[in-house]
């Protein structure tokens, strides 16, 4: 029989993390809390939590998307999201004029 030796790993106590002057950095360690692409408009969901649909054109009053566009948002490529966001601006203007 072979003898098993156990090794105990002791981690030193971490000193209090430094605070950063930039709020988007993780406690001065240089890692961003946000994903690198999260600042782009096409990656953000345009929903503003006003989910009421216009009966005439079936667009959401809050974001101007259809139900199908809302359901498929995560599956869209960045190019298609950008194209849809540009279209949503025009739709919102049409919704405001019709109100």
Q: Match 């950008």 to its residue by tokens.
A: 82
Domain ranges in the chain are 41-98
Q: What is the distance, to the nearest Å, from the Cα of residue 52 to the centroid of all Cα atoms in its chain? A: 22
- CB 51: neighbour CB atoms within 10 A? 13
Instruction: For residues 80 and 82, give the distance between their C-alpha atoms in angstroms, rounded to a whole number.
Output: 5
pLDDT tens-digit map of 74-96: 999 999 999 999 999 999 999 88
Q: Is pTM beyond 0.85 here?
A: no
53 or 38: which leads in pLDDT: 53
11 or 73: which leads in pLDDT: 73
Q: Are 59 and 53 in contact (CB under 8 A)?
A: yes
């Amino acid at each position: 029989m072979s003898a098993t030796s156990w090794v105990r790993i002791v981690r030193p106590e971490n000193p209090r993390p430094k605070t950063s002057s930039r709020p988007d950095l993780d406690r001065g360690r240089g890692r961003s809390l946000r994903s690198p692409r999260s600042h782009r408009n096409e990656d953000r969901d345009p929903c503003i939590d006003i989910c009421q649909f216009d009966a005439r054109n079936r667009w959401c009053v809050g974001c101007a998307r259809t139900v199908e566009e809302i359901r498929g948002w995560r599956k869209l490529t960045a190019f298609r999201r950008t194209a849809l966001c540009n279209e949503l601006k025009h739709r919102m203007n049409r919704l405001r004029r019709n109100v």
